[in-house]
Amino acid sequence: MDFTQLLQNMTNGVAKGSCYALVAVGYTMVYGVLQLINFAHSDVYMLGAYFAYWPAKWMGYLPDEKGGRAQDVPLALVGLFVVGSMAACAAVGALIERAAYRPLRHSGRLAPLITAIGVSLLLEYGGQMVFGTEPRLFPTFVEAQSYDVAGVKFANTSIIIVVTAAVLMGALTLFVNHTRQGRALRAVSHSFNNARLMGINVNATITMTFMLGSSLAAVGGILVAMDQPTITPLMGLRMGLKAFVAAVLGGIGSIPGAALGGLLLGVSESVVAYWSTTYSEAVAFLILIGVLLVRPAGILGSSAREKV
């Protein structure tokens, strides 16, 4: 057995899992507040990639036709693309909630679920109409480099992915646990009416939840796009499935659970890929089913009953 290769796969898995985690928190936060699986969430992730792609293209920062390396983009500009995409996705997330879910707030749980699938399809096929069906080469933004530590290669994009995801998840955790709005979010996830009695505007808090999740998904979209580096309007399909599973695995409603679930899924996929790339996802999902058979509420689901 080639332990170096196995280790290599695991480090790749951590990067992959970090991206799952960034998208999974969006599922888990919305579920924590509304008990709704927001199927459109992974398409907001897709939009996140496109919202960074278009300005880069307009400003001439795309790789050349032959797929050569990107022109060097100033770091400040990359930051601007990322923040711009986060803001745009936050707006889309808020719009989806306002237009598609809020009118159905009192219609039981099935109607909003079906609407969510509808919004997802709308974004996927609407995206194909507007963006075109062909995959587009995403600007790499940073020059690819890798560092060799005892035979294991650390690509700089992987490092960027892991660090960015860790910083954002950490910031989110601080926000939820130690700010006034974060407390409001946790109050709303427990009970709308009791939150109202505290003077909390429940609708505004729900909007904020969608905006937070959507902006993190945007960053996930950009990170994955930089790594791939192609994007398509259907790129949310796979990610949606993985991130949703990660959220359930970690315990839906729990933010640390989403992070843990994402990392576990990413690593187990990559480790299985050491033996067989063909079956990597199948085996990874088998592991998940095994975990859920033992702990149906997810890893951090029932022991830490705290939602959001």
Partner 1 sequence: MAEPLLIVEKVDVYYGAVQALRGVSLQVHEGEVVTLIGCNGAGKTTTLNTICGLLRPRLGRVLYQGNDISRRPAHELVRQGLVMAPEGRGIFPNLTVAENMDLGAFTRSDKAGIAADLERGYALFPRLRERINQKAGTLSGGEQQMLAIARALMARPRLLLLDEPSLGLAPLLVKTIFETIDRINGEGVSILLVEQNANAALKHSRRAYVLQSGEICQEGSSEALRDDPAVRAAYLGGQ
Residue ranges binding partner 1 (CB under 8 A): 180, 183-184, 186-187, 190-191, 193-202, 305-307
Question: Of 125, 149, 156, 166, which Cα lies nearest the Cα of 40?
Answer: 125
Smallest separation (angstroms) from partner 1 to the CB of 78? 37
Quick one: tokens of 78?
A: 């990359």
90 versus 184: smaller Cβ distance to partner 1: 184
Can you tell me the distance from the alpha carbon of 106 to that of 203, in angstroms, rounded to the nearest whole number?
13
- Tell me the two tokens of residue 152: 């294991």
- Residue number, 190 or 238, with CB nearest to partner 1: 190
The whole-angstrom distance between residue 286's C-alpha and the CA centroid of its chain comes to 22
What minimum distance in Å lies between the beta carbon of 250 and partner 1?
A: 17
- As measured in angstroms, the least distance from the Cβ of 195 to partner 1 is 8
Distance from C-alpha of 109 to C-alpha of 250, rounded to nearest angstrom: 22
CB of 184 to partner 1, least distance (A): 7
Q: Report in angstroms the alpha-carbon separations of 241 from 18, 42, 169, 229, 302.
A: 15, 8, 20, 20, 22
Beta strands in the chain (DSSP E): 136-137, 146-149, 152-155, 230-231
Nearer Cβ to partner 1, position 8 or 203?
203
For residue 200, the minimal CB distance to partner 1 (Å) is 6
